[in-house]
Amino acid sequence: QVQLVHSGAEVKKPGASVKVSCKASGYTFTGYYIHWVRQAPGQGLEWMGRITPNNGDTNYAQKFQGRVTLTRDTSISTAYMELSRLRSDDTAVYFCARDGHGYNFDYWGQGTLVTVSS
Amino acid sequence: QSALTQPPSVSGSPGQSVTISCTGTSSDVGTYNRVSWYQQPPGTAPKLMIYEVSNRPSGVPDRFSGSKSGNTASLTISGLQAEDEADYYCSSYTISSTWVFGGGTKLTVL
């Protein structure tokens, strides 16, 4: 069965960077986009960007351009999201999600809580 | 890219029907049939309920249905059940090759 498993929770100081991983299993990793979506406490979902695992091509939301970098390692079926210059309002749960070939998000990881605090 | 507009909350009694709207623009909902809906109970990851406006993934009850007219998409839940209580989000692909979510709607089953 399709599974997306995140790395563990992180606590970072303002100005630092964080790198979250998402390990895929149960399907051909290179055959589907991976998206990253975040959710601040008590808030809605916010799309950050997506990566094409086959060739590394990326699209980012304008809001995160220059601060977020999506990468992947096809040898271990893992996608990564790195967010730099962290601020307190970056405190959120960060989800990876598979694109189900219909421009939707058909499988989601359990999410990684990133807390930014001095 | 501005978020799609959803009502903050809706409610209904068991057995009733409720409809959640999702209003975008000609840059997203109005141009593409790439609208999807997600259910998110508290403390869990979202779950895909509807894709491409009106299609249900395997395992989603047929009580859930979707439609679209112009720049507004809608999710209708008929025969409400207590287990349907959750937050619901719409999403659309955009002309900028990005995706955008709605602000979310909290469904309360009275």
Copy the structure tokens of residue A41. Answer: 């406490």
Distance from CA of A100 to the nearest CA of B (A): 9
Copy the structure tokens of residue B90. Answer: 């719409």
Q: How many other C-beta atoms can be found within 10 angstroms of the C-beta atom of residue B34?
A: 18
* Beta carbons of A45 and B46 less than 8 Å apart: yes
CA distances, B12 to each of B37, B40, B50, B76, B89 (Å): 19, 18, 20, 12, 18
The answer to whether A65 touches A47, Cβ cutoff 8 Å, is no
The answer on pLDDT for B1 being more than 80 is: no
Residue B2 confidence (pLDDT): 81
Chain segment B22-42, per-residue pLDDT in tens? 999 999 999 999 999 999 999
> Which parts of chain A register pLDDT below 50?
none
Distance from CA of B63 to the nearest CA of A (A): 19
